[in-house]
Amino acid sequence: MRWSRWRGLPVGVFLLLLCCTSVGYTQEDVDLNDYYRFPFSLGVAYQNLSPFGDYGTDFNSYFDLSAIFKIPLRRVPVLQPFLQAGMIRFIAPERDDQDKWSHTHWYITPGLGYANRFSKNFEIGLELSGGVSEAIFPNLDPTEPRGSLNLLGSAAVKISLDPSYNMNIDISPGVKYLHSLSPLERFNGFVYSIGFSANYRFGEDPDAPQAIIRSIKISELQFPPLFAAMQSYYSKNPFGRVTITNVEQFPIFDLVVSFFQAGFMDTPTKLATIPRLESGESRIVDISASFSEEIFTTVGIVPLTGEIIAEYNSRNRPAKQSFSISYDLYDKTALTWDDDQKVGAFITSADSALRNYTSFVRQAAKDYVLDSFSESLQVAMQIFYGLKEIGCIYQIDPTSPFTQVQENPMLVDSINLPRNTLKNLTGDCDDLTVLYCALLETVGIESAYITVPGHIYAAFNTKVPSRSYQKVHPEKNMTLNINGELWVPVEITMIGTHDFLSAWRKGIEQFMVLESTPEKRVITFTAQAQDLYRPVGLRETDLGLQYGNQKQIVAFFKDAMDRLVDQILDNYTQLAQEANSKEGFNRLGIVCAQYRRYAQAQKAFNTALSLDRNYLSPQINLGNVFFMKQEYQNALRVYHEAEQILASGGQTDSSLYLAVLLNISRAYYELENYGKASEYFQMVAEQDPALVEEYAYLRSAKEGERAADVSSSAMIIFAGEEDL
């Protein structure tokens, strides 16, 4: 086939199509490319081919048959990337050995098209593509088919008729270029083509009757500013409402109302499903939204336009209406103080930067932690002094002081995220409270925050039972009894200027001053607040933070602990002296030993023995002091003496006897006499299996094998400890 056979065909076909259709849409202000934009299309194409060069063979037929998948760009619908796959057939006559050159190109080519819709029914454009083909020659080699890999490029002009929104017919004159990557270069060169294609475009015709149904009207829209920090709250709780009214003279059915915000939601949030809405009937619909994590990337106040979407059936035809709503979105540092629980969203304990910092602080002081004292309290002190060491201080917010925003619950305030406060080293009361609570939560300490008129500060759970308050502080009113456990309030704004004990006392004073008006003080537990307001999302980055001098942190911590322990022991000493009883001095000795005041412990136990030489508890406890000082031989001597006294007195089934045997096992273990350790352990296990569960490592101890992380002082059982 040669060009002369059908060189007038493209123009003729185009004129024929032009005569068979109306001019169509001429509205000047409408972008037809956007108005009739479709999501994607599928089509088939047929092309007649005519080579420019001479292949040395007269082929009976050249043609191209393919399938086309096309996706217009959402924002620029005139640009339409596509993928085309198909075959090109070269058919030679079956004579004079010519049919050996018959072959088929199987190809796939991505490309980009440009299509401009200048009227409702016509488009004109250009397509460029390039890809690869595999040419198969079935008759070239008598033994097996031969293949040849080729590069394939094409360019074509598109003249299109659109009989309807969904149907498209193209005529496309153009050229192709084939280039073999094998030695078979016989068919290299340009090929002229003219083709036809039919495409089905998916989507809804904007001119269809159902597309212009307007049965719904919205009114009384209540849509306040939104806050990124409240993302989780908005997904479950309404923040606005809208009135939906059926303005038709007949009912509509299966009404589904949704809200969508482009850029910040993956899918619309369904608001309501109404099976039937009568003519003139109105319904109030609450608005909620499942925002994506992208909401946390905003900065400052961002004006947005969202959509209320109504989908329904009207006279058995599907309909869809969208209503634009404008509002402001505040970034993740903003909130209003109408609900104190909102603060929970800013306590970001999962932040790795905070975890790294608390790990550094705890590592610094780990060798000075008292096993028998509240670990939560000690870690809280370490974190307080860690912040002091790096220079973190209180600074009032000059733009929105807490007093002002608390008095006006709808005034927008901002809270710095903990990582930013930690980096800036300054913050007002809410910034520092959020930082301190977040740092506590990173190490598993249950935190809370207390709001009083004009102020907010932190609190935490010591995990000490309320009956044992004297082991935390000698003054009972220095702690808060919450659900049977002792909580400590901390006036965190005193960081950098005062010590922890002063901040503790100030916190309790601020709480107790409102004893007569308890409604003015509110304790909000972080865990409960975060059930409603999950922590904001973060894009974590290294803060480049200088963690401070570990020795200075330890010095601050040790000084505060020494003063607190002194107060506790002074109280126990006073009680023992006032009672002047052997039990009182034994209790004093136990607390002294547990707090590593060994000299005071020995003095107290000896005082108890001086009141009753036959009182066995302080004698056993003196052995415990030797054990804690790692004088294991002296400890064994005392334990064995107690063992003999109890055995000779017929008390081998007493809990005191079992405790002595267990301590003997522990001492032998520390001396690496694992046989004796196992022997005494077995004696205890036979009488009281439950007692030895946490000491199971003693049963199977072998030479060269020691249990990891066994604290010798924590494992010791004191005689009379149950009285504390």
User: How confident is the model at residue 205, as a pLDDT?
Assistant: 84
Residue whose structure tokens are 């059930």: 531
Structure tokens at 662: 């267990």
Non-local (6+) Cβ contacts of 572 within 8 A are 470, 587, 588, 591, 592
pLDDT digits (tens, 9 = 90+) for 676-696: 888 898 888 888 887 777 777
User: How confident is the model at residue 22, as a pLDDT?
Assistant: 41
The DSSP H or E segment spanning 281 is none
Residue in 307, 513, 545 with CA at minimum distance from that of residue 422: 545
* Helix-, strand-, coil-residue percentages of the chain, each rounded to 5: 40, 30, 30
User: How confident is the model at residue 635, as a pLDDT?
Assistant: 94
How far apart CA 416 and CA 434 sit, in angstroms, is 8
Q: Are 594 and 623 in contact (CB under 8 A)?
A: no
* Amino acid making up residue 156: A
pTM for the whole structure: 0.67
Q: Packing angle between helix 375-389 and helix 550-579, nearest 10 degrees?
A: 140
Establish how many alpha carbons lie within 13 A of residue 341's alpha carbon, considering only the half-sphere containing its beta carbon. Answer: 12
- pLDDT beneath 70, residues of the chain: 1-30, 209-212, 398-410, 700-715, 722-724
Q: Are 603 and 593 in contact (CB under 8 A)?
A: no
How far apart CA 71 and CA 88 sit, in angstroms, is 24
Q: Are 269 and 260 in contact (CB under 8 A)?
A: yes
**Torsion over CA: 93, 96, 97, 98 (sign):** negative
How far apart CA 639 and CA 388 sit, in angstroms, is 46
pLDDT digits (tens, 9 = 90+) for 102-141: 889 999 999 999 999 989 899 999 999 999 999 998 888 8
* Amino acid making up residue 686: E
- Beta strands of 92-166 (E only): which ranges? 103-117, 122-137, 146-161
Structure tokens at 242: 């809208």
